[in-house]
């Protein structure tokens, strides 16, 4: 350290602990002067409490151990110490501030201007358990910085003439309560444009408590009043608070707890109308005005006030209070009218319709726009002694129509009303009707209608102003049990198996209203045998087969509804198993609209019998052939023709087994089986020793032919056919074989061919004879010509004719 002409003073060393000058050894020992190594090549000199005597130039040097000196090994910095003249003075704020009020905080920061330094001031708030929070700072360069959370709090600066800084906190809340602190700092502007604080002082300005608005808020409404119809209602709401001027008020008038009209903190009226208004008469005074009061305006009125605190776009509800209720009565003349209940349609038996009419007459004092509503009630008839209904008769609501015609159903009648079985109507403005489409026994009892008068209310709806109930009207009749009669008739009789049986069932009823019918066609083999169900038909015309139905014969069974009370059953292709008794078991059902079928009564018809004798068809067989005499190697054809009579089955239901036999001697035994064909068309031929062959063919349903190809004399003999008929029995439904049939015999003759036997030998002999004769002549001629020839030449005459003659 070098101080002017005083020379150098050793301050401190990192290597030699005894390096310090004697005048500084105490400060070094106490730590006021210290050196801190910040890195391998960086150290820092620290002075805890700077003194004016510390102004000097401080040199930092390091010894060199290098053999060659390169660079500098010392450097200096000048320290100037100025006097600490910074002063911070504040004025204590109001210790108690109402919520929503303002807090003004004055803080004066000064210093002696001997050197170019600058000042800053900071206002802070300390609350229990929360660190110090800066609210606003005026920096050394004049910039204003708002603390976190205070940007929208509406803080503003107020500087007095004496230079004191003032901070105004507007619209305080509970969060603004605490100890306010003012901090002043003195700054220097270093080279490079950096600001550096050289000294600061902090003072506590004082604690501030915030009084809640709810503690001081009071709301009073006055006063009870009684009015006549069409008068003007005026009610006043008085609001008082310790900081009323700082509060934004939201005022709402309630009628029996419902909102009537409200005035927002922005002065906008909600739910108002030309006849209902809310206005502010002065600070804390609000008046409700209702012009032309109606009966619906009566009730308990109360004033609800909500106090809002805030500013700068940040509002919150500080308190809410509701005044004492005041009663408003409206004297009005209620509508008056008479109500009568009559029966338009009275049931005679169960199921008949019932209609009740409720008439309103002599209507007076009924305001324009008014309407009528109705409610229907039912009380059961007293039960027999000992029945609980005798002592407890409960009135049950059926349904009601309000002023707008909306239907409200009673719990027990909701299904019947929704389905249309019970209808509530307003046929005229003063006439209401209750109609049962089908009256049930449970509907017997006492009925009453209650007519209500409705007038328009202030809220735009309708309010009930009067109600009149008619005396009960009893609806009762003598219950008569329903009866049902069923008659079965034979429409088509089955005289033989395979025929069609048809039966109709006609039903008639008494004391039933538009019933539906279900039909069961039942059968039994004999009177004592078990009953079986063939077909069923539901009231909704759903057909089902019973347990007595063969699944393969369901297409042969038909049950249809041919009339309102007539049903027809048809059985096609009757069999022996179908013989027995048939009848209809018919049940009558009743149904309310939208409800399920209810069983009323059942009845069985008379029995109709299916009884026929199974005779079956008759068969015959015959044999024929175009010729019975043949020569060998020709083809013989014999036809076995069958015929059927009586109950002839269909061609698809008929088949035959056919066999052909040969007896070589007339009148011999049964003979030898040649070939056969079964009923499935399978042909079987027996082994033969002859060179001929046989074949079978079916030319039509009843004709079978035997063909013998390349006949021989061994094929001569008596031929006959045997046939076994098979047919599908119409009475049993099974294949049945008839009696075996045997045709008459037919003798087939294969003649011996004499000429055919001789013509070849004769031909061969003739050809041989001619051939031998010609050969002999030729041989003789050759011999004569060669052996007996004259060698002397005799000249031939010119006269050829003469020579020829001589020859």
For 580-637, the pLDDT digits (tens) are 999 999 999 988 776 788 888 999 999 999 887 766 677 888 999 888 888 888 889 9
By C-alpha distance, which of 557, 523, 553 is closest to 543?
557
Band of the pLDDT at 647, cuts 50, 70, 90?
Answer: low
Whether residue 550 has pLDDT greater than 60: yes
How much is the average pLDDT of 776-793?
74
By C-alpha distance, which of 589, 592, 571 is closest to 580?
571
Strands 672-677 and 683-685: antiparallel
For 52-75, the pLDDT digits (tens) are 787 888 888 887 766 666 666 788
Provide the percentage of residues in the chain whose pLDDT is more than 90: 26
Task: Report how far residue 12's alpha carbon sits from residue 469's, in angstroms, rounded to the nearest whole number.
Answer: 114
For 94-126, the pLDDT digits (tens) are 898 888 888 889 898 888 877 788 889 999 999
For 233-290, the pLDDT digits (tens) are 899 999 998 878 888 899 999 998 888 899 998 889 988 888 888 989 888 899 999 9
Higher pLDDT pick, 789 / 691: 691
Mean pLDDT of the chain: 84
Whether residue 176 has pLDDT greater than 80: yes
For residue 560, the model assigns a pLDDT of 94
Task: Report how far residue 736's alpha carbon sits from residue 616's, in angstroms, rounded to the nearest whole number.
Answer: 10
Instruction: Round to the nearest angstrom and report the end-to-end CA distance of the chain.
Output: 201
Those residues whose C-beta lies under 8 Å from the C-beta of residue 22, and which sit 6 or more positions away, are: none
H-type alpha helices, 202-249: 213-216
Residue 161, CA distances (Å) to 157, 164, 165, 224, 525 in order: 13, 7, 10, 57, 131
Residue 83, CA distances (Å) to 45, 375, 489, 555, 619 in order: 21, 100, 140, 128, 156
For residue 125, the model assigns a pLDDT of 92
The torsion angles phi and psi of 175, rounded to 5 degrees, stand at: -70, -10
Those residues whose C-beta lies under 8 Å from the C-beta of residue 698, and which sit 6 or more positions away, are: 677, 681, 704, 705
How much is the average pLDDT of 649-657?
83
Band of the pLDDT at 391, cuts 50, 70, 90?
Answer: very low
Whether residue 805 has pLDDT greater than 50: no
Task: Report how far residue 165's alpha carbon sits from residue 106's, in angstroms, rounded to the nearest whole number.
Answer: 6
Residue 759, CA distances (Å) to 239, 401, 695, 765 in order: 160, 127, 33, 10
Higher pLDDT pick, 798 / 707: 707
Q: In this structure, what DSSP letter does residue 566 have?
A: E
Band of the pLDDT at 806, cuts 50, 70, 90?
Answer: very low
Which runs of E-coded beta strand occur in 87-164? 87-91, 96-98, 103-110, 118-127, 130-138, 144-146, 156-159
- 3-state secondary structure labels for all residues of 567-604: EEEEECCCCHHHCEEEEEEEEEEEECCCCCEEEEEEEE
Output the CA torsion 220→223→227→233 (10° steps). Answer: -40
**Cα angle, residue 482 at apex, residues 480 and 483 outer, rounded to 5°:** 130
Q: Is 540 helix (H, G, I), strand (E, B) or coil?
A: coil
For 718-772, the pLDDT digits (tens) are 999 999 998 887 666 678 888 888 888 888 888 876 666 677 788 888 888 888 8
């Amino acid at each position: 350290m070098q101080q002017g002409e005083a020379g150098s003073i050793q301050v401190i060393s990192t290597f030699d602990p005894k390096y310090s000058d004697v005048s500084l050894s105490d400060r070094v020992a106490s730590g006021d002067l210290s050196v801190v190594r910040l890195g391998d090549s960086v150290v820092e000199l620290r002075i805890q409490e700077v003194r004016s005597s510390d102004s000097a130039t401080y040199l930092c040097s390091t010894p060199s151990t290098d053999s060659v000196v390169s660079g500098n090994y010392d450097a200096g910095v000048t320290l100037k110490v100025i006097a600490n003249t910074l002063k911070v003075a504040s004025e204590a704020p109001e210790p108690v501030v109402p919520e929503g009020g303002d807090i003004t905080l004055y803080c004066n920061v000064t210093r002696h201007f001997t050197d170019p330094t600058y000042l800053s001031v900071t206002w802070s708030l300390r609350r229990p358990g929360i660190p110090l929070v800066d609210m606003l700072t005026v920096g050394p360069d004049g910039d204003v910085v708002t603390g976190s959370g205070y940007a929208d709090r509406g803080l503003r600066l107020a500087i007095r003439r004496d230079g004191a800084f003032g901070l105004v906190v507007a619209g305080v809340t509970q969060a603004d309560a605490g100890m306010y602190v003012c901090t002043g700092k003195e700054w220097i502007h270093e080279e490079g444009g950096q600001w550096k604080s050289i000294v600061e002082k902090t003072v506590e300005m004082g604690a501030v408590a915030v009084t809640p608005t709810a503690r001081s808020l009071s709301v009073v409404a006055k006063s009870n009043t009684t009015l006549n119809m069409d008068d003007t209602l005026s009610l006043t709401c008085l609001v008082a608070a310790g900081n009323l001027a700082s509060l934004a008020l939201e005022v709402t008038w309630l009628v029996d707890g419902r909102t009537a009209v409200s005035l927002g903190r922005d002065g906008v009226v909600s739910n108002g109308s030309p006849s209902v208004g809310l206005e502010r008469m002065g600070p804390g005074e609000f008046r409700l005005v209702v012009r032309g009061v109606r009966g619906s305006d009566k009730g308990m009125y109360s004033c609800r006030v909500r106090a809002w605190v805030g500013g700068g776009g940040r509002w919150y509800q500080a308190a809410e209070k509701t005044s004492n209720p005041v009663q408003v009565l409206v004297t009005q003349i209620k509508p008056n009218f008479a109500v009568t209940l009559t029966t338009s349609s009275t049931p005679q038996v169960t199921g008949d319709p019932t209609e009740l009419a409720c008439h309103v007459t002599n209507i007076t004092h009924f305001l324009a726009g008014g309407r009528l509503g109705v409610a229907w009630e039912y009380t059961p008839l007293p039960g027999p002694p000992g029945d609980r209904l005798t002592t407890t008769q409960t009135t049950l609501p059926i349904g009601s129509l309000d002023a707008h015609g909306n239907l409200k159903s009673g719990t027990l009648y909701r299904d019947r009303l929704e389905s249309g079985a019970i209808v509530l109507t307003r046929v005229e403005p003063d006439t209401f009707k209750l109609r049962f489409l089908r009256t049930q026994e449970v509907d017997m009892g006492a009925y009453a209608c209650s007519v209500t008068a409705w007038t328009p209310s202030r809220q735009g709806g309708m309010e009930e102003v009067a109600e009149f109930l008619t005396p009960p009207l009893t609806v009762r009749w003598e219950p008569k049990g329903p009866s049902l009669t069923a008659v079965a008739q034979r429409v088509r009789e089955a005289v033989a198996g395979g025929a069609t049986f048809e039966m109709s069932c006609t039903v008639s009823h008494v004391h039933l209203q538009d019933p539906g019918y279900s039909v069961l066609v039942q059968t039994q083999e004999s009177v004592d045998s078990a009953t079986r169900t063939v077909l069923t038909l539901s009231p909704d015309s759903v057909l089902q087969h019973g347990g007595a139905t063969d699944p393969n014969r369901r297409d042969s069974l038909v049950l249809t509804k041919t009339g309102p009370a007539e049903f027809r059953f048809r059985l096609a292709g009757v069999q022996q198993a179908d013989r027995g008794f048939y009848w209809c078991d018919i049940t009558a059902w009743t149904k309310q609209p939208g409800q399920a079928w209810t069983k009323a009564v059942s009845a069985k018809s008379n029995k109709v019998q299916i009884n026929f004798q199974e005779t079956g068809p008759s068969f015959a067989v015959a044999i024929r052939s175009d010729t019975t005499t043949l020569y060998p190697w020709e083809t013989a054809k014999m036809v076995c023709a069958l015929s059927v009579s009586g109950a002839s089955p269909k061609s698809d239901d008929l088949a035959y087994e056919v066999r052909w036999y040969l007896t070589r001697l007339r009148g011999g035994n049964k003979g030898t089986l040649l070939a056969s064909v079964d009923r499935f068309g399978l042909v079987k031929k027996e082994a033969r020793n002859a060179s001929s062959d046989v074949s079978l063919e079916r030319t039509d349903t009843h004709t079978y032919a035997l063909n013998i190809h390349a006949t021989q004399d061994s094929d001569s003999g008596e031929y006959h056919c045997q046939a076994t008929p098979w047919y599908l029995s119409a009475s049993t439904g099974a294949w049945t074989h008839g009696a075996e049939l045997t045709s008459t015999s037919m003798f087939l003759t294969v003649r011996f061919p004499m000429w055919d036997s001789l013509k070849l030998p004769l031909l061969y002999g003739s050809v041989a004879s001619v051939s031998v004769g010609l050969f002999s002549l030729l041989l003789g001629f050759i011999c004569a010509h060669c052996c007996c020839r004259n060698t002397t030449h005799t000249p031939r005459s010119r006269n050829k004719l003469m020579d020829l003659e001589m020859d």
